[in-house]
Structure 1
Amino acid sequence: QASIHNTWTMMQEKGRLSAAQLEKAHEALSLSNSLEGLADCDLVIEAIVERLDIKQTLLRQLESIVQADTVLASNTSSLSVAAMASCLEHPERVAGYHFFNPVPLMKIVEVVRAAKTSGHVVERLTALAKTVGHRAVVCGDTPGFIVNHAGRGFGPESLRALGDAVAPVQVIDRLLREQVQFEGKGFKLGPFELMDLTAIDVSHPVMESIYHQYYEEPRYRPSVITAQRMAAGLFGRKTGEGFYRYIDTKKQELPWPVLPDVLAEDAPCSSVWIAPMLDTQPPWVLESLQHFIGEAGLACQADDQASTNALIVLCPLGEDATSMAHRLGLDASRCIAIDTLFPFGWKQCSVRSIMGTITSTRKTLAMASKLFSSDGASVALLGDSPGFIAQRVIGMIVSIACDMAQQAVASPRDIDDAVRIGLGYPVGPMSMGDAIGPKRLLAVMDGLYATTQEPRYRPSLWLKRRAQVNVSLLHQSASF
């Protein structure tokens, strides 16, 4: 009780509660030392230990005490609501009601509809959430519900990029904080900063649990990296070391990788040739690139082929630099690829990502690094990778959400809002896909799948169909 009162007092001090609201809340709160004290309640929400047997025992006891029309709800984040309700005479009165901590600030609640849950129960819980100022999202009784399910794109795909030696953790974190931009915002924390904050001994078991509950679905495959770190006790901030080191809980920054220098004996690069792009790239990509090259003081060749000394710039979607150079019949040693998924033009961003082919020369890498940092932005030189960092991570976030909509886990709007509020993303995953463009994002996933031949990157049918007819990823068919 004291803890609850302290929370309310803090909210009043921050202007989130008035004095009258605080007094009313104090008067409304009452405690009971026994389950019998809950006999007259219209709704009982359990939030005890996450063990199915213990929750079932509690629910059986409650069913024998409360009224016939009392709703029994569980705040579980990981257990099957149907399994909890299976031991009751009236499983239709049971639903999931999953809030997020801190509850007064996280204005989202998942209303979980199990196989036998009454529609009336779902309606009552949804209405109550609205009354207390929370956004209720209704979902099926599936592993991870909405938020923990949709979160399988951000961390696991970043771990995959780290495991592929595409970039170190500090580069991946910064690219996803700063290069990614939706409505002027990136992610608040990079994936490795976030895993250190939540603790790897918490996040890795969740990754494994959802992977196994979905019968080893490739999109959700965990990483050996977190398994190794958990075994070593490198849990993150709480142990003083995870992906970063911490002194008095303060993260110790890792140095930015050194870029190759242009040497005195290098022949100067005076021109740049831009390789042909996919039709799904919007016109502003070529225009921004041409303008950037001009502002940097270089000539942009308009010929059908690159001259002998020109730097060749590639703009792949879901494809690695080596594969694109080979597909176009270009001299791979002179090629450099730049990620153009988000605005990258002259003084438009703080960091850009580039990657060479496996045969790009030191001079090519040095010239490209100098060119794309000429306006003062940082440059991340990545290992050759399909989808850079931003493309593959955003592509997976959107693809998983699209699969969830296709499987009717929840409505696309509920998925979008749940992820935006529950995970703190700049916008929801469907809105991410719409901002990039469904056709363009489909090209990213097509490229990733064609290059890697891995089922985890297969394009979602929800995404593919909406890209084909050029409608929003939030669109639901009339027959849905």
Structure 2
Amino acid sequence: MTSSPDAATPETAPTTDPAGRAFATIGVVGLGTMGAGIAEVFARNGFSVVGVEVNDEAVQRGRQHLEHSTGRAVQRGKLSEEDQAELIGRVTFTTTLKDLADADFVVEAVVESIEIKKSIFRELEGIVKPDTILATNTSSLSVTEISTANLHPGRVIGVHFFNPAPVQNLVEIVRTVVTEEEVLEDVKGLVARLGKSPVICGDRAGFIANTLLFGYLNHAASMYEAHFATREDIDAAMRFGCGYPMGPLALLDLIGLDTAYEILDTMYKQGRDRLHAPAPILKQLVTAGFLGRKTGRGFYTYEEPDSHVVVADARTPDREHSPELKRPVRSVGVVGTGTMATGIVEVFARAGYDVTYVGRSDAKVDGVRTSIERSLDKAIQRGKLEESAKAETLGHLTGTTRLDDLATADLVVEAVVEDLAVKTTLFENLDEICKAGAILATTTSSLPIISCATATKRPQDVIGMHFFNPAPVMKLVEVVSTVTTADDVHETVLALCATLDKVPVSCGDRAGFIVNSLLFPYLNDAVKMLEAHYATADDIDTAMKLGCALPMGPFELLDVVGNDVSLAIQRELYLEFREPGFAPAPLLEHLVTAGYLGRKTKRGFRDYSS
């Protein structure tokens, strides 16, 4: 998810942190990929670093990590050979902890074993100065328990760098109930001087980023295990529907399924949240030795161990037989005049389909055309559309207030209000109006499509086409089949999406489909984290954007989507799955009750009035 570090020229280290504590010599215990990266971060910023490993062979590996990382920066012209030599020269390599006697700050980055970490901290206390701060880089273990190895646990703190440390800007600073306030402030200042973005949180398994991330990843694994959707479609849905840099199953393979299992298991044992209980498929894959990229096989199969190149296997879709239009689609009807309906009309018209759209009044019908003209003008101004394409697109449009004008349409897409009674009544009418063989589609994002289908005498012709907003921009369409949907209807809609330059993914008819059923429990977990006063909204957003490379933090996204919309979807998910962890967070319900719906009301999780 990240690239190799772009090193800046090292600067001279400060002799004193802004908070007042002197930081000159930094100790790093453990020089694996993470430890070596942390050592590099400090050395880049001018600090003297003492790196400790268990033996000479491990020391040599740690030196090689450092040389390779800085060497890439030299190759990219981000660091001169002289600066590289100077940086490496700031690091002293050793096999004895006693060489940390003069360190002002020591960070441990060894294997995730509570006993090994405690033994290191116990030994360090007899070596370092009384005011030396001791930090652990653990990603899931209890910092409080680690601190019990020390007679002075108040100087122990969690400092969780993200991999690769030279690139990732996020650092989670984890305070325990006994961490001294001045230690917290001094470490926060130190991390900021490294050019990193520190976020403060309490001591619980997973901290901020992993708690939210791994719940989402675990849910995706369970979705795949239940055969609800293919691995390719689950990953494509989150990439194209949410703008995530990687799909959840590909990300699990990158992290390592053994690592993911251990983190989830630790989180579950500490919090007893069933949503963190590792999906059985994770244990099965780990037991089989399929750990992800590092072994060449996980959810996907790779060219070789440690390769990122995915190769075909028995579960790979047959690319030689692309979906075909089993039913002819030349004319399209769209019911609705809202933002989503207008976008869908534009998508079909720009793809060359004749579109008849139906509104409740002439004013609403005219509004659709006006909105599409404005959208096309913007595209022309940005050089994304030729002037001639505007007239051609508008020539495909026919507006009407009569549902009966859809009688000859090959496909009708419903995009009216998210009210099941309204939708089922509409489908009853479409069933009477539309010709035999016409495909009837709904764009609902959360309501049961089967209810729309059974409102007709042709349930085999009914399917879900869930476009994402704004429809002309967003690539994803979730193609949702019910238990009654005919195979030729499903294949036709998949092929149709390709003609619209969209990315279709297939799934079954259950609340949330793919994207919303993965996205909204994650957002709900973030709200629960905030209402528990575990971390601030700003720190949670920062953690997810910088630590997980997400385009928006959860509270930014909630305020954009609308807290009322989010609450409605979360309620649907809870009613469908009866999963206690899916129950809407009380804080979300309270904000909606108060009318704090997000940006549209100028107040949500943040105030937008100024």
Using structure 1 for the length normalisation, give the TM-score.
0.85
Deviation digits for residues 215-254 of structure 1 (CA, Å, limit 9, x no counterpart): 1x13324212222222322222333322222223331143
- Please report how far the alpha carbon of residue 115 of structure 1 lies from its aligned counterpart in structure 2 after TM superposition: 1.0
- Please report how far the alpha carbon of residue 329 of structure 1 lies from its aligned counterpart in structure 2 after TM superposition: 7.9
| Structure 2: tracts of 5 or more residues without a match | 1-61, 359-401, 404-425
**Separation in 1 of the partners of 2:529 and 2:457?**
40
Structure whose CA Rg is larger: 2
Is the Cα contact below 8 Å between 1:353 and 1:379 reproduced in 2? yes
| Structure 1: tracts of 5 or more residues without a match | 181-185, 277-281
> Counterpart of 2:186 in 1: which secondary structure?
helix
Indicate whether 1:101 and 2:229 are aligned.
no
Is the Cα contact below 8 Å between 1:321 and 1:337 reproduced in 2? yes
Give the match for residue 286 of structure 1: 341
Structure 1 letter corresponding to 2:311:
Q
**Separation in 2 of the partners of 1:9 and 1:267?**
58
Is the Cα contact below 8 Å between 2:591 and 2:604 reproduced in 1? no
> Counterpart of 1:336 in 2: which secondary structure?
strand
Is the Cα contact below 8 Å between 2:301 and 2:310 reproduced in 1? yes
**Separation in 2 of the partners of 1:267 and 1:34?**
75
Change (3 A) 1:311 1:49: closer
Give the match for residue 292 of structure 2: 236
Using structure 2 for the length normalisation, give the TM-score.
0.68
- Please report how far the alpha carbon of residue 85 of structure 1 lies from its aligned counterpart in structure 2 after TM superposition: 1.3
Give the match for residue 63 of structure 2: 2
Is the Cα contact below 8 Å between 2:330 and 2:354 reproduced in 1? no
> Counterpart of 2:283 in 1: which secondary structure?
helix
- Please report how far the alpha carbon of residue 69 of structure 1 lies from its aligned counterpart in structure 2 after TM superposition: 1.7
Indicate whether 1:387 and 2:515 are aligned.
no
- Please report how far the alpha carbon of residue 59 of structure 1 lies from its aligned counterpart in structure 2 after TM superposition: 1.8
Change (3 A) 1:256 1:296: farther
- Please report how far the alpha carbon of residue 88 of structure 1 lies from its aligned counterpart in structure 2 after TM superposition: 2.3
Change (3 A) 1:446 1:323: farther
Q: After superposition, where does 1:140-151 map in structure 2 within 5 Å?
A: 140-151=202-213
Give the match for residue 204 of structure 1: 261
Query: Relative contact order, CA 8 A, sep 6+: which one is greater?
Result: 1
Structure 2 letter corresponding to 1:455:
P
**Separation in 1 of the partners of 2:563 and 2:521?**
13
Q: Percent of counterpart pairs with the same letter?
A: 27
Q: After superposition, where does 1:458-473 map in structure 2 within 5 Å?
A: 458-467=583-592, 468-471=595-598
The match for 1:190 among 247, 261, 268 is: 247
Is the Cα contact below 8 Å between 1:322 and 1:357 reproduced in 2? yes
- Please report how far the alpha carbon of residue 373 of structure 1 lies from its aligned counterpart in structure 2 after TM superposition: 3.5
Give the match for residue 605 of structure 2: 475
> Counterpart of 2:253 in 1: which secondary structure?
helix
Structure 1 letter corresponding to 2:507:
L
Give the match for residue 226 of structure 1: 282
Deviation digits for residues 336-367 of structure 1 (CA, Å, limit 9, x no counterpart): 2122344333xx34442211222223454355
Is the Cα contact below 8 Å between 2:256 and 2:291 reproduced in 1? yes
- Please report how far the alpha carbon of residue 40 of structure 1 lies from its aligned counterpart in structure 2 after TM superposition: 2.6
Structure 1 letter corresponding to 2:282:
T
Change (3 A) 1:466 1:340: farther
Indicate whether 1:315 and 2:443 are aligned.
yes
**Separation in 2 of the partners of 1:101 and 1:465?**
37
- Please report how far the alpha carbon of residue 151 of structure 1 lies from its aligned counterpart in structure 2 after TM superposition: 0.9
Is the Cα contact below 8 Å between 1:75 and 1:96 reproduced in 2? yes
Supply the RMSD in Å over aligned alpha carbons. 3.0
**Separation in 1 of the partners of 2:577 and 2:95?**
59
Give the match for residue 279 of structure 1: none
- Please report how far the alpha carbon of residue 432 of structure 1 lies from its aligned counterpart in structure 2 after TM superposition: 2.9
**Separation in 1 of the partners of 2:233 and 2:85?**
49
Structure 1 letter corresponding to 2:271:
Y
**Separation in 1 of the partners of 2:171 and 2:604?**
20
- Please report how far the alpha carbon of residue 438 of structure 1 lies from its aligned counterpart in structure 2 after TM superposition: 2.6
The match for 2:303 among 221, 235, 247 is: 247
> Counterpart of 2:499 in 1: which secondary structure?
coil
Q: After superposition, where does 1:127-138 map in structure 2 within 5 Å?
A: 127-138=189-200
Change (3 A) 1:474 1:235: farther
Is the Cα contact below 8 Å between 1:166 and 1:384 reproduced in 2? no
Is the Cα contact below 8 Å between 2:176 and 2:202 reproduced in 1? yes
Structure 2 letter corresponding to 1:413:
D
Deviation digits for residues 85-141 of structure 1 (CA, Å, limit 9, x no counterpart): 123222111101111222111122111001100111111111011111111111100
> Counterpart of 1:30 in 2: which secondary structure?
strand
Structure 1 letter corresponding to 2:303:
I
**Separation in 2 of the partners of 1:204 and 1:99?**
20
Deviation digits for residues 413-450 of structure 1 (CA, Å, limit 9, x no counterpart): 11111122222223323233333333222222122112
